[in-house]
Amino acid sequence: MADKVIAVADHRYRASAPPIPARLDAPTGVLLDTLQRPLRDLRISVTDRCNFRCSYCMPKEVFDRDYAFLPQSSLLTFEEIVRVAGLFVAHGVRKIRLTGGEPLLRRDLDRLVAMLAALRGADGTHLDLTLTTNGSVLERKAVALKAAGLGRVTVSLDAIDDAIFRRMNDADFPVADVLRGIDAAERAGFGHIKVNMVVKRGTNDGQILPMARHFRGRDIALRFIEYMDVGATNGWRMDEVLPSSQVVERIADEFALVPLPPSTPGETAARWRYAEAGVAGEIGTISSVTQAFCRDCNRARLSTEGKLFLCLFASRGHDLRALVRGGASDAEIAAAIGLVWQQRGDRYSELRSAAGGAAPAGERRVEMHYIGG
Ligand code: SAM
Ligand code: SF4
Ligand code: SF4
């Protein structure tokens, strides 16, 4: 078999500090991009490191022992993260998701959670503060995260079969530990936990029904995510994408489902409940490949080292850390963020759909573990 050859040029540093506008208009809480999409959701990557090597995200051949992860000094500190997040909130962000890499590997994350939980929207409202984790150390951390003010948890889990799960995470990590993490989160008081499964045709699509059977009857939303062409290292192929419509068909063959309305505007998941009376649980699908949802995309991403990305498939970021560490005032940074968002026109997935599933031409895309999933 021919060796897989993957270019490993480092594009992390391709970003420039955004200009500070001459007029420093104060944030109004409503910021629209060129497609009239508001800024509502901020995802913050708190580390680019991970203890898993999921082949669709951090393939082992690339992210090996020699891979240069970011040095500690280039990471935004908790104080810097909270300062920048506060400016996004002033611009209208209502939901903050902590992600990575594996966010629970960042030391003292509960301290950051407590600092972010203290932020209030312009109208005094609490933020929707959430975390996406691979669940590997959730059992130990769930209570502290809850006490610190974390609102919700999403756990990624690609199989319920131990051998398949160990292959998917490529770190020989047992499924039982993740399941104990989910149980611990429930015991700590997290309700309606989301469990995300990335479906790769031919690799773990045989796990769709076993996963549904396992979580059916619990207050858990099981969501199936189409395998995406994020980054430039996972060797993505369209024929490995199982369209969400087929996921739902497979589940509906065994369990009757009833569609649910979207819970929030701009929600990325289509949702169903089980038709059988009194049976808890929810099924969701996120069809970023077969049914692009760029039209409602209100998400910005802040990378581990403080670069702002406007799309999961972006190639270039806007270096907010340069402003933060360069002595810019809050008013200046807020105005710079405002200008960047107002110029946003990203809609990668729609362009991919328009091109029949082929990746639109362009520069190499940033990796997901770095900008945050
Ligand atoms: N390490 C944490 C985790 O796995 O939950 C948080 C970061 S991870 C990048 C966030 C989410 O992105 C996970 O649910 C993961 O399954 C998903 N993801 C990563 N690469 C993906 C890909 N190529 N296609 C679809 N989803 C992907
Ligand atoms: Fe790590 Fe999450 Fe990426 Fe898997 S998906 S390699 S757990 S960051
Ligand atoms: Fe948003 Fe970009 Fe995804 Fe479209 S492709 S939904 S713009 S992140």
Length of the chain: 373
**Type and span of the H or E element at 87:** helix 78-90
- Ligand 1: nearest atom to the Cα of 56: 23
Cα 196 to ligand 2 centroid, rounded to whole Å: 12
pLDDT at 251: 98
Kindly state the tokens that stand for 21.
């506008």
Whole-angstrom distance, CA of residue 26 vs CA of residue 48: 32
The minimum-distance atom of ligand 1 relative to the CA of 154 is 5
Using the atom order of ligand 2, give the atom closest to the CA of residue 132.
2
The three-point CA angle 232-44-242 to 5° equals 45
Under the banding of pLDDT at 50, 70 and 90, the label for residue 5 is very low
Q: Is the pLDDT of residue 9 over 60?
A: no
Residue 371's nearest CA partner among 302, 321, 311, 272 is 302
> Ligand 2 centroid to 99 CA: how many Å?
10
Closest-CA residue, ligand 2 atom 3, reads 57
Which of these, 262, 279, 158, lies nearest to 271 by C-alpha position?
262
Q: Are 222 and 282 in contact (CB under 8 A)?
A: yes
- Ligand 1 centroid – CA 22 distance (Å): 39
Domains detected in the chain: 11-21+34-371 (3.20.20.70)
Rounded CA separation 138/156 (Å): 11
Q: What angle do CA 20, 47, 163 make, to 5 degrees?
A: 145
How many Å lie between the centroid of ligand 1 and the Cα of residue 25? 36
Question: Cα–Cα distance between 267 and 49 in angstroms, integer?
Answer: 28
| Stretch 239-245: mean pLDDT | 94
CA of 107 to the centre of ligand 1 (A): 20
Q: Ligand 2, closest atom to CA 136?
A: 7
Task: Dig out the tokens for 235 from the structure.
Answer: 């060797």
Geometric angle at alpha carbon 257, from 254 and 261, rounded to 5°:
160
Positive or negative, the Cα torsion across 197, 128, 370, 21?
Answer: positive
**Contact predicate 49/102, CB 8 Å:** yes
Ligand 1 pocket check for 234: Cβ under 6 Å: yes
Dihedral sign from CA coordinates of 360, 361, 367, 370: negative
Ligand 1 site, residue 127, Cβ cutoff 6 A = no
**Could you tell me the distance, in angstroms and rounded to a whole number, from the CA of residue 328 to the centre of ligand 1?**
33
What pLDDT is attached to residue 256?
Answer: 98
Residues with CB under 6 A from ligand 2: 50, 52-54, 57-58, 100-102, 134, 156, 369
Quote the pTM value: 0.94
Interatomic CA distance for residues 225 and 247, integer angstroms = 10
By CB atoms closer than 10 A (0-12, 13-18, 19+), residue 128 is: middle
**Range with lowest mean pLDDT among 4-18, 154-168, 170-184:** 4-18
Output the CA 21–ligand 1 centroid distance in Å: 35
Angle formed by the axes of helices 78-90 and 109-117, to 10°? Answer: 30
Q: How would you classify the pairing of strands 220-226 and 257-260?
A: unpaired
Tens-digit pLDDT profile for residues 123-144: 889 999 999 999 999 999 999 9
The answer to which of 55-64, 114-123, 257-266 has the lowest mean pLDDT is 257-266
What type of residue sits at position 164? I
Q: Which of 232, 331, 236, 293 is nearest to 14 (CA)?
A: 232
pLDDT (tens digit per residue) in 167-204: 999 999 999 999 999 999 999 999 999 999 999 999 99
Do the beta carbons of residue 358 and residue 352 sit within 8 Å? yes
Average pLDDT value for the chain? 92
DSSP track, 225-253: EE----SSSS---GGGB--HHHHHHHHHH
Q: What is the mean pLDDT of residues 365-369?
A: 77
- The arithmetic mean of pLDDT across residues 282-311, rounded, is 94
Q: Which atom of ligand 2 is nearest to the CA of 51?
A: 1
Atom of ligand 1 nearest to the CA of 234: 23
Q: Is the CB of 348 under 6 A from ligand 3?
A: yes
